[in-house]
Amino acid sequence: MIPVIIMGKITLLMAISYCFFTTGFIYFIIFQLAVYNNKTTPLNESLIGRQSTGTGFQSLISLMSFGVPMLVINLLRIAFGEIISQLIFLAIGLALTFTSNYWIKNIYKRFMKRRYKNMEGFRDSK
Amino acid sequence: MATIKINNLQKDFGEKRAVDIDNYVINNGDILGLVGNNGAGKTTFFRLILDLLQASNGAAFINDIDSSKSEEWKNFTGAFIDEGFLIDYLTPEEYFYFIGKMYGLKKEEVDERLTTFERFMNGEVIGQKKFIRNFSAGNKQKIGIISAMIHNPELLILDEPFNFLDPSSQSIIKHILKDYSQQTGATILISSHNLNHTTDICPRIALLEDGKIIRDIDNVDNSAEKELEAYFNVE
């Protein structure tokens, strides 16, 4: 990302806000949805070699994780302009990054409640 | 030190009762061998003890802790049931350090612990610069067994530890398990289809049939071998 900043293609603020939005918001969404995933996906095979790209739910996780942020940033841009939208992004990212201890503990508890169902699914789909 | 108490433990898969054990105690420091034909319920029994499967009835207690109600027993328990325990996209070193970190071990402590397995690894595990997924079944088995023992657990559970291993490695792991038991007094549970290996290292053997422990054999001086051979009709 540093070369792109030096070349002036993106601003430092944009780089920092996207960075924290990833560690905060995107990880938050991925982990929250992962609690409900009970199928394995073959990471050993290359993306092209895979017979399937995963279950519908796994596609939904990908969509929510990468599609929703794009939608949010575009809506914020339209409503508040470039700088304000990046600051909002940064604020959301920082808030979720620094409270990660709390929501990860909550995810762990929910994982444990669903552990038998999830483990059975993982074993069946191996 | 670890004692296991089984209290009316049952597991049903549809109409089939895979495990049905009324009361059974595995004492502190026991090396218990679990034998039985395919489908007897050995792996299901281990999974129930380790809370990897929900019991239909009853419970397994590790040091008086219901293994499904608390996680305290995980601190002093090591287990390797199948390849699903491994993280394929890590190298063995990364995986050992990860497991060590979970038990509060520093890298140096993990390295020191690994030296006791040098003969077992036979130069084919450490320093190979490849992911676990690219190792042979035998070496994956070695990685799993070592990872289960890396934190010196008081309770060690291994499902079919001799599977996929070459004869030399089978012999070495038998010595490692015997020495480990003598040095630490740990409780060890292993399942195996290999009657010779089981009788070699286990002073106590439980014979499982249709989910029930039908015999609890005291294996003094390998005396269980004939009884087991008669049961399995080995000529």
DSSP string for residues in A77-124 = HHHH-HHHHHHHHHHHHHHHHHTHHHHHHHHHHHHHHTHHHHHHHHHH
B contacts of A115 (beta carbons < 8 Å): 51
Residue B180, domain CATH: 3.40.50.300
**What pLDDT, on the 0 to 100 scale, is given for residue B126?**
95
Judged by average pLDDT, the poorest of A51-60, A86-95, B16-25, B178-187 is A51-60
Q: What contacts A107, CB < 8 A, 6 or more positions away?
A: A31, A32, A34, A35
Written as tens digits, the pLDDT of chain B (235 aa) is: 789 999 999 999 999 999 999 999 999 999 999 999 999 999 999 999 999 999 999 999 999 999 999 999 999 999 999 999 999 999 999 999 999 999 999 999 999 999 999 999 999 999 999 999 999 999 999 999 999 999 999 999 999 999 999 999 999 999 999 999 999 999 999 999 999 999 999 999 999 999 999 999 999 888 898 899 889 986 5
Please state the length of chain B. 235
In terms of phi and psi (left: phi > 0; alpha: psi -120 to 50; beta: otherwise), the region of B133 is alpha
Domains contained in chain B, number: 1
Q: What is the pTM of this model?
A: 0.89
B54 at interface of A, judged by CB pairs closer than 8 A: yes
Average pLDDT on A80-94 reads 91
Higher pLDDT, A39 or B114: B114
Pairing, β B57-62 against β B31-35: unpaired
Closest Cα in chain A, distance from residue B199 (Å): 31
**What pLDDT, on the 0 to 100 scale, is given for residue A56?**
75
Please give the residue of chain A at the shortest CA–CA distance from B70.
A112
Closest Cα in chain A, distance from residue B206 (Å): 26
ipTM over 0.90: no
What residues make up the domain containing B115?
4-232
**What pLDDT, on the 0 to 100 scale, is given for residue B1?**
73
Distances (CA, A) of B187 to A113, B53, B162, B181, B220: 29, 21, 18, 7, 18
Q: Do A126 and B53 touch (CB under 8 A)?
A: no
Q: Taking the domains of chain A in order of start, what are their residue ranges?
A: 2-39+54-124
Please give the residue of chain B at the shortest CA–CA distance from A121.
B53
B5 neighbors B29 (Cβ within 8 angstroms) = no
B26 neighbors B206 (Cβ within 8 angstroms) = no
Closest Cα in chain B, distance from residue A42 (Å): 10
Q: Do B53 and A122 touch (CB under 8 A)?
A: no
The conformation of residue B88, written as its DSSP 8-state character, comes to: T
**What pLDDT, on the 0 to 100 scale, is given for residue A70?**
83
B133 at interface of A, judged by CB pairs closer than 8 A: yes
